[in-house]
Amino acid sequence: MKLKNKGDDRDEKAIVDYCKKAIEAYMESLKVYTLDRSPMQYVVTQNNLGNTYARLADIEDRASNCKKAIAAYKEALQFSTLERQPIEYAVTQYNLGNIYAKLAEFEDETKNCEKAIEAYTESLKVYTHQDFPMQFAMAQYKLGNEYGRLADVENIVHSVDDIKYGGLLNQ
């Protein structure tokens, strides 16, 4: 099976192999790029690690790789705070929102949608309409998707309860 990514025809096995090699290289670099010694490189490497786990989650061990991406993004946020590095903070929060949205496809849909909403909302503290209109629009769009997903989740819960209790809940 071929997996398209940015015009690429590599197969899934090759992509998985490249992702695993990238993860291994990032882990090695983190032995030197520590939060204390090289905070900027640490943040960049953690974000790249998160992005690689997110890509790997498209192909295998989906929930597990989503959780590894989340851990990497949260590590990056140890240094990239709203006050210290607002743009990196916004990028990382947006990435965190994306991975929580992806994880919601596999487990704890409501909880993970809510976490995605929190992360997208955090990114909007930097991605304002005036300063970053494209990023603002993308984050707003993603928020709309997650709120829409929650609406469907809530409707499903109410529908199941309605069936279970014979419509007594809506009277």
Domains of the chain with bracketed CATH:
12-170 (1.25.40.10)
- pLDDT-based confidence at residue 1 (cuts at 50, 70, 90): very low
Give me the pLDDT at residue 152, please.
84
Sequence letter at residue 24: E
Lowest mean pLDDT among 91-100, 125-134, 157-166: 157-166
pLDDT reading at 73 higher than 60: yes
- pLDDT-based confidence at residue 122 (cuts at 50, 70, 90): very high
* 36's tokens: 């204390």
Spell out a b/e string for 56-65, using b for 16 or more CB atoms within 10 Å of the CB, else e: bbbeeebeeb
User: Which candidate, 95, 132, 129, 133, places its Cα nearest to that of 115?
Assistant: 95
**What's phi and psi for 5, nearest 5 deg?**
-150, 110
- pLDDT-based confidence at residue 153 (cuts at 50, 70, 90): low
Give me the pLDDT at residue 14, please.
95
Q: What is the pTM of this model?
A: 0.83
* 150's tokens: 């929650």
What one-character DSSP code corresponds to residue 168?
G
Q: What is the mean pLDDT of the chain?
A: 88
CA dist 132 and 150 (Å) reads: 27
